[in-house]
């Protein structure tokens, strides 16, 4: 049970949240851990904050590297880690104090498991300001093909990271954790959830996830589908159904937008401008 767990904390422009994330590491009831802060070329005072925490506890260490994106930063930290189990913790998120204590034994007791996750809480400001609670289930890659139900900070075996060559460093626009889970699970591994709220995900108006979902969702999905086309072709019927579901979803959203009052008002306002523009052609 008392094996070393390596917690990797990449940080880029999140120095103002870093202390809260590291305090949640320091608060762990399971004490055999190391924490590696990875400064991914952040232009803020990440280094200053990181060194303060390194001085607080010798289990915390720090590396500074040129900016290479989140998957590159995660790989850099894991590469120098010493534990057989990995948790990647984004610098703005928070672990429950019993996170390792309750997830690690589940992973250790079942040799079929590569990953153990938990239920999570979405919050703003502080952890008492809860937006929603999220529960998920599943066990194989098939449960993950069309939606990433696993949080990035799920605990997993370092050997699985080695087996698939780490995080895909070309995926700098997000979804790198989803692709990583699929790569691991299609090797035959399984995952599970601890049915307890052990992770706090900070919700903000501006974040990498918000940017990804707004601007890069389709291109990222296309990349994952192409990279792992063996499983998507194997389950072609499900893949086809999901893609048509997306087409209808976007089509209905477009129809709804075009029939909205705001769209109609905008059309009326712009009509004179279009007429004037046509006179100059």
pLDDT in tens, 223-248: 999 999 999 999 999 998 888 777 77
Structure tokens at 114: 């590569």
pLDDT at 263: 47
Block residue for tokens 């070393």: 4
Rounded to an integer, the average pLDDT of 160-165 is 98
pLDDT tens for each residue of 9-53: 999 999 999 999 999 999 999 999 999 999 999 999 999 999 999
pLDDT for res 205: 63
Cα–Cα distance measured from residue 178 to residue 170, given in angstroms and rounded to the nearest whole number? 14
Name the DSSP class of 145: S
What percent of the chain has pLDDT above 70?
Answer: 85
**Which tokens belong to 214?**
């707004």
Residue 95 has a pLDDT of: 98
Distance CA 144, CA 214 (A): 21
CATH of 5-203, one of 3.50.80.10, 2.115.10.20, 3.40.50.300, 3.90.550.10: 3.90.550.10
Domain definitions of the chain by residue range: 5-203, 237-279
Question: Quick one: which of 108, 76, 89, 82 has its CA closest to 6?
Answer: 82
Q: Residue 174 pLDDT more than 80? A: yes
* Contact (CB, 8 A) for 59 and 34: yes
Report the candidate in 269, 246, 268 with the shortest Cα–Cα distance to residue 254: 246
Chain mean position to CA 39: 18
- pLDDT at res. 272: 56
pTM of the model: 0.86
Q: According to the model, what pLDDT value does residue 112 have? A: 98
In the prediction, which pLDDT does 111 show? Answer: 97
75-132, pLDDT tens digit by residue?
Answer: 999 999 999 999 999 999 999 999 999 999 999 999 999 999 999 999 999 999 999 9
pLDDT at 256 over 70: no
CB 160 within 8 A of CB 203: no
**Rounded CA separation 97/86 (Å):** 17
The residue that leads in pLDDT, 277 or 26, is 26
Structure tokens at 117: 């996750």
Which has more confidence, 216 or 162?
162
* 201: Cβ contacts below 8 Å, ≥ 6 apart: 93, 120, 121, 122, 123, 151
Residue 99 is classified by DSSP as H
Q: How many CA atoms lie within 13 Å of 196's alpha carbon, on the beta-carbon side?
A: 13
| pLDDT score at 227 | 97
Two tokens at 259? Answer: 């029939």
Give how far Cα 135 sits from Cα of 71, 138, 151, 171, Å: 25, 11, 11, 26
What is the predicted pLDDT for the residue at 253?
A: 67
The residues, ordered by sequence, that sit 6+ positions from 253 with a Cβ below 8 Å of its Cβ are none
- Residue 222 is predicted with a pLDDT of 93
pLDDT digits (tens, 9 = 90+) for 190-227: 999 999 999 999 987 655 555 555 667 889 999 999 99
DSSP state of 126: S
Residue that has been written with the tokens 């477009």 in this structure: 254
């Amino acid at each position: 049970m008392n094996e070393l767990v390596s917690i990797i904390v990449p940080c880029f422009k999140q120095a103002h949240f870093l202390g809260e994330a590291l305090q949640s590491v320091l608060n762990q009831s399971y004490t055999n851990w190391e924490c590696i802060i990875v400064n991914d070329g952040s232009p803020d005072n990440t280094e200053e904050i990181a060194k303060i925490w390194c001085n607080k506890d010798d289990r915390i260490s720090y590396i500074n590297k040129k900016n290479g994106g989140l998957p590159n930063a995660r790989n850099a930290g894991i590469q120098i880690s010493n534990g057989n189990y990995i948790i990647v913790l984004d610098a703005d998120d928070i672990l429950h104090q019993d996170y390792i204590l309750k997830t690690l034994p589940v992973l250790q007791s079942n040799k079929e498991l590569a990953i153990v996750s938990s239920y999570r809480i979405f919050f703003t400001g502080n952890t008492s300001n809860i937006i929603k609670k999220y529960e998920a289930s599943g066990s194989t890659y098939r449960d993950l093909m069309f939606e990433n139900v696993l949080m990035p900070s799920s605990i997993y075996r370092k050997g699985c990271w080695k087996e698939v060559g780490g995080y895909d460093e070309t995926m700098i626009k997000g979804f790198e954790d989803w692709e990583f889970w699929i790569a691991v699970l299609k090797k035959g591994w399984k995952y599970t959830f601890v049915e307890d709220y052990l992770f706090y995900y900070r919700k903000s108006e501006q974040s990498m996830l918000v940017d990804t979902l707004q601007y890069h969702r389709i291109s990222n999905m296309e990349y994952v589908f192409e990279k792992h086309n063996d499983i998507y072709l194997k389950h072609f019927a499900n893949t086809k159904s999901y893609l048509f579901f997306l087409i209808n979803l976007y089509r209905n959203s477009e129809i709804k937008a075009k029939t909205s009052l705001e769209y109609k008002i905008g059309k009326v306002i712009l009509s004179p401008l279009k007429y004037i523009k046509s006179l100059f052609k």
